[in-house]
């Protein structure tokens, strides 16, 4: 039962990364590369009907985490207190920017909310990368000092940073050079993903330029991926153990790699959706590989006193988990129906869809 | 968790309760939850009621093909869009805060309340978010009938959300279908008990009717504004009529049967909270109902009391002479944390509810005799009453939450046992201040934008 809910949770989070990932990426493209009013409006239009539903994958994943692994939810949400609340503030800013921009027809008003949308998208990509870095690196569970827990074994607290900015430091911070590395990786990967979305769903004038940008950024991304994989091996000793024990897991990094390398063909692609498919494959592969490397751990412990949090020691009781399967399956089928309706209504390029404020 | 007025503990002498210090993390955890949930709930109460009124207008249009109904729907959809966005962005922090600030509570009860909260995400949020965009902007793409359907789905999603939130709330008020393990964790033993909980259905219907009252007063009040202003007269009259009729029905439903049933539940399952709500210190046969008075906890009496004899006994037990237990009947350790706060919250809610019924009865009477649009005093009254259903809804929630104090899960888990163990007061105060600043900004933007839409008025050009 724990395994079922683990797969559900990772699947929903993975969908979130791919779906809201292109929203963040579109926001970053909007911030740095869209210069004309037409291009900006084409970009916001292309995510307009989707972003809200995309964000629900995060909220719903949070709900599933709370329900299926309440101990992990309690431990991680209180331990990562400040960055999580800041993510909330950024989500609020971004949503407000998107929803209120069109309410007033004034250049200054538009500029303010364009920037709010772009900057919060950029910071959110960075924060989610940092968050991933923190989960991969692990935390001082039970706040062990001098070999003794000062809190219950599942609780911890990580401040935003400490003076050393090192993942090997005695007192860990959210921001250290390892988590920053993953933060940058997330920003670059989602920028590429967002650019692919803009190419896929709009006829904007920057599409051609974006292909060049994707090509260049993809070189950076390859370097970042390589460095991260090597460094991860240093930060955590067992990062490859699962892959050695279960070689079939190599299918995930392989999928990611196909997506990554395929992006170099971006300029030659005949169909605009292929780039988006490639970056989706990369995100899926990278996310699944990370999860597979950690499994069954959900949050590693950096001390030897308290055990890591796994799907087994954080799960809710068996009855609750099994009764949840019934409603989850029903709800999930409904979600698929909604998605099909959405994508059928808004298929193809979005520039000229008669959709907008009356 | 809504207990904002902890200062009451200064009055309650000799209570074995922990006194709150200003540097206590728990104090700020509670302030933050109280602030964020209060601000959040200003929006969903309009969302839930207004969605029904909008699909009513849209349905009227489909039936009559009169453009004014479609224009009316469009006008309210513009306000609905901003209101809904505010509800969503202030709602996300609510789900996160169980974990960030109430980790111990989440750890211990997550197997149960996580159930209903996760269902809210899966059933309600996906439904709302998938069809909201289509509802707000997809009319030309979909045609009128499908457009009506998307409106109905958004309405369904928002009411499903309320349904699951109140199921969660009801479990905290009257825990059912659970078992407590040796390590203190609550585990679910009966899923359907969460929904057959006797606390649940009356509370849900009471809450939904109350949100209809808010929406009705907003619609009628804006109508009154247009009529008084002699602008958009046709719409002003339509809004007034619709708001008054919806308002009269819902404000009566708030009192009878739903409010009555909720109060009887409190009397039955939380008798000490019931005595505190009513301001009843001594056990009485033929208990009086207190209309006005200030509780003096130290002296255990009400100052400046105005009360009507026998009514409380009748309302609670359908018997004019039934015995109602007063606070003196109970050990002080069982008292709600903040008795004056609870008493006032309840009395403000009930007092306002009575005013609403009175005003709407008069307005309906005038509507029937075709005098509603010309009697200025009733139009001014309706206009000025717009903020008060919001206050009644919020104080209603305060009554429920303060009545449950000092418990998080009634009789089983205390609020002081539920907070996050590793989050310091300094961190929580930091985020509380951040939320206050951010929400002040959101509140101002909301008022400016909605004000602009109202001032501009409905657009009679075909969309």
Report whether pLDDT(B371) > 50.
yes
Q: Please compute the mean of the pLDDT values over residues B7-18 and round it to a whole number.
A: 43
DSSP A248: G
pLDDT in tens, A101-157: 888 888 899 889 999 999 999 999 999 999 999 999 999 999 999 999 999 999 999
Looking at residue A60, what is its pLDDT? Answer: 95
Q: A97-101, B178-182, B253-257: lowest mean pLDDT where?
A: A97-101
A221: β partners? none
Q: Note the pLDDT of residue A39.
A: 87
Place of tokens 């009055």: B11
Q: Which residue of B has its CA nearest to A335?
A: B126
CA distance A337 to chain B (A): 10
User: Would you say residue B16 has pLDDT above 50?
Assistant: no
Which pLDDT band holds residue A353 (cuts at 50, 70, 90)? low
Partner B contacted by A48 (CB < 8 A): yes
What pLDDT is attached to residue A355? 54
Tell me the shortest Cα–Cα distance from B388 to chain A, in angstroms: 27
Q: How confident is the model at residue B20 (pLDDT cuts 50, 70, 90)?
A: low
pLDDT computed for residue B6 by the predictor: 44
**Residue pLDDT, tens place only, B282-340:** 998 999 999 999 999 888 889 999 999 999 999 999 899 999 999 999 999 899 999 99
pLDDT at residue B1 above 70? no
Question: How many independent structural domains does chain B possess?
Answer: 1
- Global ipTM: 0.93
Q: Is B364 exposed, middle or buried (0-12, 13-18, 19+ CB in 10 A)?
A: middle
Which of B276, B196, B247 has its CA nearest to residue B352?
A: B247
In the block, residue with structure tokens 């219950």 = A152
Q: Tell whether A353 lies on the interface with B, counting CB pairs under 8 A.
A: yes
pLDDT score, position B22: 55
Position A357 confidence tier, pLDDT thresholds 50, 70, 90? very low
Min Cα separation B207/chain A (Å): 23
φ/ψ of B294, rounded to 5, equals -115, 120
Question: Does the pLDDT of residue B8 top 60, yes or no?
Answer: no
What percentage of chain A has pLDDT greater than the value 90? 70
Chain-chain contact of B133 with A49 (C-beta, under 8 angstroms): yes
Fold designation for A2-316: Formate dehydrogenase/DMSO reductase fold (1.20.1630)
Q: Does A41 score more than 90 pLDDT? A: no
- Cα–Cα distance list, B294 to B250, B271, B347, B349 (Å): 30, 20, 11, 16
Residue A269 contacts B, CB cutoff 8 Å: no
- Own/partner long-range contacts of A327-331 (Cβ < 8 Å, ≥24 apart): A327/B119, A327/B122, A327/B123, A328/A8, A328/A64, A328/B122, A331/B119, A331/B122, A331/B123, A331/B126
How far is it, in rounded angstroms, from Cα B149 to Cα B142?
Answer: 10
- Across all residues in chain B, what is the average pLDDT? 92
pLDDT given for residue B13 in this prediction: 41
Q: Is A340 on the interface with B (CB under 8 A)?
A: no
Q: Is residue B321 part of a domain?
A: yes
pLDDT at B49: 97
Dump pLDDT digits (tens) for B174-201.
999 999 999 999 999 999 999 999 999 9
Asked whether the beta carbons of residue A81 and residue B98 sit closer than 8 angstroms, the reply is: no
What are the chain B neighbours of A327 within 8 Å (beta carbons)? Answer: 119, 122-123
User: What's the pLDDT band for A235 if we cut at 50, 70, 90?
Assistant: confident
- Identify the pLDDT of residue B322: 92
pLDDT at B11 over 70: no
pLDDT of residue A162: 85
Range of the domain at B251: 198-423
Mean pLDDT check: name the lowest of A183-197, A334-348, B361-375, B384-398.
Answer: A334-348
Query: Quick one: pLDDT at residue A345?
Result: 82
Cα–Cα distance between B163 and B160 in angstroms, integer? Answer: 5
CA of B178: which chain A residue's CA is closest?
Answer: A320
- Judge whether B73 lies within some domain: no
**Span B14-39, mean pLDDT?**
78
B83 inside domain? no
Q: What confidence score (pLDDT) does residue B255 get?
A: 95
Q: How far is B441 from chain A (nearest CA, A)?
A: 11
Q: How confident is the model at residue B12 (pLDDT cuts 50, 70, 90)?
A: very low
Q: Does A317 touch chain B (CB under 8 A)?
A: yes
Mutate to test the interface with B, among A5, A15, A67, A329 (most CBs of B within 10 A): A67
Interval A306-334 mean pLDDT: 96
Distance from CA of B46 to the nearest CA of A (A): 18
Domain presence at residue B214: yes
Substitution target from B96, B147, B431 for chain A, most A beta carbons within 10 A: B96
Chain A 57-116, CB below 8 Å of chain B: which residues?
A: 59-60, 62-64, 66-68, 70-71, 73-79, 81-82, 84-85, 88-89, 91-92, 95-96, 99-100, 103-104
Tally helices (H) and strands (E) across chain B. Answer: 17, 8
Is B171 part of a structural domain of the chain? Answer: no
CB contact at 8 A, B18 and B374: no
The mean-pLDDT minimum among A155-159, A287-291, B80-84, B295-299 falls in B295-299
Average pLDDT estimate for A256-262: 92
Cα-Cα-Cα-Cα torsion B195, B200, B206, B209, nearest 10 degrees, comes to -10
First to last CA, chain B: 46
Q: Locate the domains of chain A by residue range.
A: 2-316
By Cβ distance, the residue of B106, B125, B127 closest to A59 is B125
* pLDDT at residue B398 is higher than 80: yes
Strands (E), B60-205: 178-180, 186-188
Partnered with residue B308 across adjacent β-strands are B289
Q: SS3 breakdown of chain A: % helix, strand, coil, rounded to 5?
A: 70, 5, 25
How large is the average pLDDT for residues B2-20?
A: 44
| Rounded average pLDDT over B391-411 | 96
pLDDT for B15: 43
Query: In percent, how much of chain B has pLDDT > 70?
Result: 94
Do A77 and B99 make contact, defined as CB atoms within 8 angstroms? yes
B407-409/B289-296 β-pairing: unpaired
Q: For B114-131, what is the mean pLDDT?
A: 94
| Inter-chain residue contact A81 with B431, CB threshold 8 Å | yes
Say whether pLDDT at A72 is over 90: yes
């Amino acid at each position: 039962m724990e395994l079922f809910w683990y797969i559900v949770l990772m699947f929903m989070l993975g969908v979130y990364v791919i779906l809201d990932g292109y929203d963040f990426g579109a926001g970053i493209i909007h911030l740095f590369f869209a210069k004309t009013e037409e291009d900006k409006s084409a970009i916001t239009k292309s995510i307009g009907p989707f972003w809200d539903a995309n964000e629900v994958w995060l909220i719903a994943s949070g709900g599933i985490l709370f329900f299926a692994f309440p101990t992990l939810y309690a431990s991680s949400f209180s331990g990562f207190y400040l960055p999580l609340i800041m993510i909330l503030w950024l989500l609020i800013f971004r949503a407000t920017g998107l929803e209120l921009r069109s309410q007033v027809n004034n250049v200054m008003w538009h500029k303010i909310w364009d920037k709010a949308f772009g900057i919060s998208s950029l910071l959110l990509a960075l924060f989610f990368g940092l968050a991933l870095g923190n989960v991969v690196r692990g935390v001082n569970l039970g706040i062990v000092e001098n070999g003794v827990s000062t809190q219950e074994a599942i609780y911890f607290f990580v401040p935003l940073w400490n003076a050393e900015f090192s993942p090997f430091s005695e007192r860990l911070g959210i921001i250290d050079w390892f988590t920053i590395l993953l933060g940058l990786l997330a920003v670059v990967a989602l920028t590429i993903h967002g650019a692919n979305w803009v190419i896929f769903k709009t006829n904007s004038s920057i599409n051609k330029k974006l292909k060049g940008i994707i090509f260049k950024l993809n070189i950076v991304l390859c370097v970042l991926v390589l460095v991260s994989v090597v460094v991860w091996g240093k930060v955590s000793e067992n990062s490859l153990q699962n892959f050695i024990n279960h070689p079939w897991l190599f299918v995930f990094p392989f999928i990611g790699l196909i997506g990554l390398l395929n992006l170099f063909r971006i300029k030659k692609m005949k169909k605009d959706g292929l780039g988006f498919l490639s970056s989706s494959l990369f995100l899926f592969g990278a996310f699944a590989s990370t999860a597979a490397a950690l499994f069954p751990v959900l949050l590693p412990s950096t001390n030897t006193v308290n055990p890591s949090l796994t799907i087994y020691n954080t799960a809710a009781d068996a009855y609750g988990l099994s009764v949840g399967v019934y409603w989850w399956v029903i709800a999930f089928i409904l979600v698929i129906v909604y998605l099909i309706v959405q994508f059928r209504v808004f298929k193809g390029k979005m520039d000229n869809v008669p959709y907008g404020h009356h | 968790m809504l207990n904002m007025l902890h200062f009451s503990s200064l009055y309650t002498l000799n209570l074995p309760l922990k006194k709150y210090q200003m540097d206590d993390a728990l104090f700020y955890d509670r302030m933050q939850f109280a602030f964020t949930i209060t601000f959040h709930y200003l929006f969903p109460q309009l969302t839930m009621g207004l969605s029904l009124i909008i699909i009513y207008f849209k349905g009227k249009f489909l039936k009559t093909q009169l453009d004014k109904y479609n224009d009316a729907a469009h006008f309210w959809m513009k306000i609905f869009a901003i209101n809904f966005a505010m509800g969503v962005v202030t709602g996300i922090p609510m789900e996160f805060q169980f974990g960030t600030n109430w980790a111990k509570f989440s750890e211990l009860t997550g197997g149960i309340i996580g159930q209903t909260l996760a269902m809210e995400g899966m059933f309600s949020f996906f439904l709302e978010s998938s069809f909201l965009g289509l509802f707000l902007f997809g009319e030309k793409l979909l045609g009128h009938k499908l457009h009506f359907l998307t409106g109905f789905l958004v309405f369904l999603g928002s009411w499903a959300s309320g349904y699951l939130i109140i199921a969660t709330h009801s479990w905290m008020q009257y825990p059912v279908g659970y078992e407590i393990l040796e390590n203190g964790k609550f585990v679910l033993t009966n899923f359907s008990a969460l929904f057959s909980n006797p606390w649940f259905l009356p509370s849900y219907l009471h809450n939904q009717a109350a949100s209809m009252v808010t929406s009705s007063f907003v619609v009628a009040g804006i109508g009154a504004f247009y009529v008084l202003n002699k602008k958009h007269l046709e719409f002003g009259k339509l809004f007034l009529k619709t708001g008054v009729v919806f308002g009269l029905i819902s404000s009566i439903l708030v009192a009878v049967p739903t409010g009555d049933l909720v109060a009887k539940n409190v009397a039955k399952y939380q008798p000490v909270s019931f005595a505190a709500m009513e301001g009843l210190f001594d056990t009485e046969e033929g208990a009086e109902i207190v209309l006005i008075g200030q509780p003096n906890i130290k002296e255990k009496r009400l100052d400046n009391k105005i009360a009507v004899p026998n009514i409380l006994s009748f309302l609670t037990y359908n018997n004019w002479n039934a015995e109602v237990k007063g606070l003196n009947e109970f050990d002080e350790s069982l008292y709600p944390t903040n008795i004056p706060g609870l008493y006032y919250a309840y009395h403000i809610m009930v007092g306002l509810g009575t005013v609403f019924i009175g005003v709407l009865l008069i307005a309906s009477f005038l509507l029937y005799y075709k005098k509603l649009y010309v009697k200025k005093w009733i139009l001014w009254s309706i206009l000025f009453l717009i903020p008060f259903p919001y206050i009644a809804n919020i104080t209603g929630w305060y009554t429920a939450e303060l009545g449950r104090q000092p418990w998080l899960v009634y009789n089983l888990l205390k609020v002081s046992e539920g907070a996050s163990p590793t989050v310091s007061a300094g961190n929580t105060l930091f985020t509380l201040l951040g939320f206050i600043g951010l929400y002040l900004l959101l509140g101002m933007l909301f008022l400016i934008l909605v004000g602009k839409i109202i001032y501009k008025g409905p657009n009679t050009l075909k969309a």
